[in-house]
Amino acid sequence: MYELILIFAAAFTLTFITIPWLIPKLKIRGLTGKDRNKPGTPQVPEMGGFGIAAGFAAGVLVAVGLSSFFGLNLNLNFVLAALSTVLIMAVIGIIDDLFSIHQLIKAMFPLFAALPLVATNVGNTTMAFPLIGQVEFGIIYALLLIPIGIAGASNVTNMLEGFNGLGAGMGIIACTALAIIAWRLEKPDALIILVSMIAALLAFFYYNWQGKIFIGDIGTLSIGAVIASAVIIGNFETAGVIVIIPYALDFIIKAKNKFPSIDWWGTYVDGKLTCPRKPVGLCQVIMKLTGGISEKNLVLTLIGIELIFGLIAVIIYGI
């Protein structure tokens, strides 16, 4: 237990002290974006995911140190492969934040981020499916399913964002549910990866909820990479699919609307976000159904939806 506390503390502390250091530097360099959900659309520093990636890496590296010198039982090949995958996704996020990669290219990049996991042959090639039972995928698991898992999870978590606290808040819930499952199944490799991300996201959420900094693609892509890496390493892929369902629903709605790049955030009227036209994403569906909702309540609603699916995953794996 003390190992998890040290890992959590390292990830949380580094992120918490990094963000206030980042904010003025990002402003000076003009790395800001408009907060379209606030009156006057103020400029807010972007790329806050730098702090998340740094904190996450710190937590994982503390775990590696505990394994190397104090006997913490980890498969370091798997842990370091997951760390590499997440950091590659963070680099992809940096490139996208700076140069705005075309959506199709950005969707394909995560396939390369999966290479460390493919090379170390992580996971179990036999998967259990409801009503079907056990299915043996053999080499297809490593060469096809792992890359698809990393690319799919990273892209959908990247798309469901744009409101203060949303990406970090939903990520905290998803990773916490999966961490509980990893604990129950005694999967320490997956557990330390998830705990490191939970700690980093909690520290970041403190600033993001107040609208002081945006998460950026660095953060959202990293969240998806952590979710996919953890469930692959821990062999509880079905749980990963369950917690991704709200993100997947948003993806489907946006796909039907040809992935809009503008007017997906809603219209600010008297303190509420409204959707005067056809909804083009899950957030706008909620705006439409409620007849207008404040940004904080919108975010809390989506976090609540994610909590429901997280609980479903925990209950299924607790049976």
What's the pLDDT tens digit per position in 206-225?
999 999 999 999 999 999 99
Flag whether 319 is in a domain.
Answer: no
Domain annotation covers residue 280: no
Q: pLDDT digit string (tens) for 264-315?
A: 777 787 778 888 888 888 999 999 999 889 999 999 999 999 999 999 999 9
- Tokens, residue 32: 């800001």
Whose tokens are 């530097």? That residue is 25
Is pLDDT of 107 > 80?
A: no
Q: Is 8 inside a domain boundary?
A: yes
Q: Which residues of 137-167 are buried (b: 16+ CB within 10 A; e: fewer)?
A: eeeebbeebbbebbbbbbbbbbbbbbbbbbb
Is 311 among the domain residues?
Answer: no
Query: Percent of the chain scored above 70 by pLDDT?
Result: 96
Residue 271 lies in a domain: no
- Whether residue 305 lies inside any domain: the answer is no
Higher pLDDT, 262 or 224: 224
Q: How far apart are CA 302 and CA 39, in angstroms?
A: 22
pLDDT computed for residue 149 by the predictor: 93
The model's pLDDT over 27-38, given as tens digits with 9 standing for 90+, comes to: 999 888 888 777
**Residue range of the domain that includes 234:** 2-255
Residue 193 has pLDDT above 90, yes or no: yes
Question: Which pLDDT belongs to residue 126?
Answer: 76
Q: Into how many domains does the chain fold?
A: 1
Q: φ, ψ for residue 144 (rounded to 5)?
A: -125, -50
What token pair was written down for 182? 């990893």
The one-letter code for the residue type at 246 is P
Sign of the four-CA dihedral 89, 152, 203, 21? positive
137-167 pLDDT tens trace? 888 888 889 999 999 999 999 999 889 999 9
Task: Give domain status of residue 173, yes or no.
Answer: yes
Residue 284 resides in a domain: no
Give the model's pLDDT for residue 184. 95
Average pLDDT, the chain: 90
